[in-house]
């Protein structure tokens, strides 16, 4: 997919050099997939947050985006994307559009991204950014993410960007049975763990990828 991000290159703390400094940090912290690193060097994170905090866009930290939500730490975005790409997915469902940054990264790496947001204001704002940038392989929906998007299933990969207590059965049902992977923060004993679940026919395998800290996965819409 060819998208021109040059008009969003920014200056000062939002310049290309700031972005490349972040990429260097991600490499040092263990991100090895060059496709992921390249996508994160291309997508301007500062356009997904308020201008007042744009100077912090390329810090390796989570930032507020309103409605008690955050844009994830770049290291987390890179890690989750790297895990998904190991399975070479073509169609990905994202639960929790948020700012739209994760979906934008994925859009450069897979054929189609379907993303659901339960907070209408964030849904509209992310849609505006996607249109402005010209990301045409992202399909959005304002809905309860726990229900997934059954009309578009099955998905090669599902990425949940909010902390679940239990993975909704509806999401598991929408995952491809031929090597589909679901990646989600899961809460257990007052901690959140990043868990991947792979589905091969009737065989389910799980793996933990360390601790994380996400806002909770909620039901309904707002």
Determine, yes or no, domain membership for 115.
yes
Q: How far is CA 141 from the centre of its chain?
A: 15
Place of tokens 């849609």: 127
Determine, yes or no, domain membership for 88.
yes
- The pLDDT tens digits of the residues spanning 87-103 come to 999 999 999 999 999 99
Determine, yes or no, domain membership for 33.
no
For residue 158, the SS3 value is strand
Model pLDDT, residue 8: 75
Determine, yes or no, domain membership for 55.
no
Determine, yes or no, domain membership for 208.
yes
1, pLDDT greater than 80: no
12, pLDDT greater than 70: no
Question: Do 79 and 209 contact (CB within 8 A), yes or no?
Answer: yes
CA distances from 211 to 44, 69, 132, 134 (A): 27, 19, 35, 34
pTM of the model: 0.95
CATH of the domain at 178: 3.40.50.150
Query: Quick one: pLDDT band at residue 2, thresholds 50, 70, 90?
Result: low
Determine, yes or no, domain membership for 7.
no
Q: Which ranges constitute the DSSP H helices of the chain?
A: 16-28, 34-42, 74-85, 101-107, 120-133, 169-173
- The pLDDT tens digits of the residues spanning 43-88 come to 999 999 999 999 999 999 999 999 999 999 999 999 999 999 999 9
- The pLDDT tens digits of the residues spanning 141-190 come to 999 999 999 999 999 999 999 999 999 999 999 999 999 999 999 998 88
4, pLDDT greater than 70: no
Determine, yes or no, domain membership for 157.
yes
Model pLDDT, residue 10: 67
Catalytic residue among 2, 11, 41, 72: 72
Determine, yes or no, domain membership for 11.
no
- The pLDDT tens digits of the residues spanning 102-141 come to 999 999 999 999 999 999 999 999 999 999 999 999 999 9
Rounded CA separation 57/64 (Å): 11
| In 143-190, beta strands by DSSP E | 157-160, 178-188
| Residues spanned by the domain of 140 | 62-212
Domain count of the fold of the chain: 1
Rounded CA separation 55/1 (Å): 28
- The question of whether 143 is a catalytic residue gets the answer no
């Amino acid at each position: 997919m060819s998208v021109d991000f040059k008009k969003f290159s920014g200056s000062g703390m939002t310049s290309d050099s700031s972005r490349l400094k972040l990429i260097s940090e991600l490499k040092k912290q263990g991100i090895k997939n060059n496709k992921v690193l390249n996508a994160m060097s291309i997508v301007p994170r500062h356009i997904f947050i308020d201008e007042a905090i744009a100077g912090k866009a390329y810090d390796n930290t989570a930032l507020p985006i309103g409605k008690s939500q955050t844009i994830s730490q770049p290291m987390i975005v890179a890690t989750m994307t790297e895990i998904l790409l190991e399975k070479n997915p073509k169609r990905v469902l994202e639960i929790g559009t948020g700012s739209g940054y994760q979906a934008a990264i994925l859009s450069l790496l897979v054929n189609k991204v379907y993303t659901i947001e339960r907070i209408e204001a964030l849904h509209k704002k992310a849609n505006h950014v996607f249109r402005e940038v010209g990301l045409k392989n992202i399909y959005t929906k304002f809905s309860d993410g726990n229900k997934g998007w059954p009309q578009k299933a099955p998905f090669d990969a599902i990425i949940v960007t909010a902390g679940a207590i239990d993975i909704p059965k509806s999401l598991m049902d929408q995952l491809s049975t031929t090597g589909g992977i679901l990646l989600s923060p899961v809460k257990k004993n007052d901690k959140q763990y990043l868990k991947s679940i792979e589905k091969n026919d009737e065989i389910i395998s799980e793996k933990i990828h360390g601790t994380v800290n996400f806002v909770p996965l909620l039901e309904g819409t707002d």
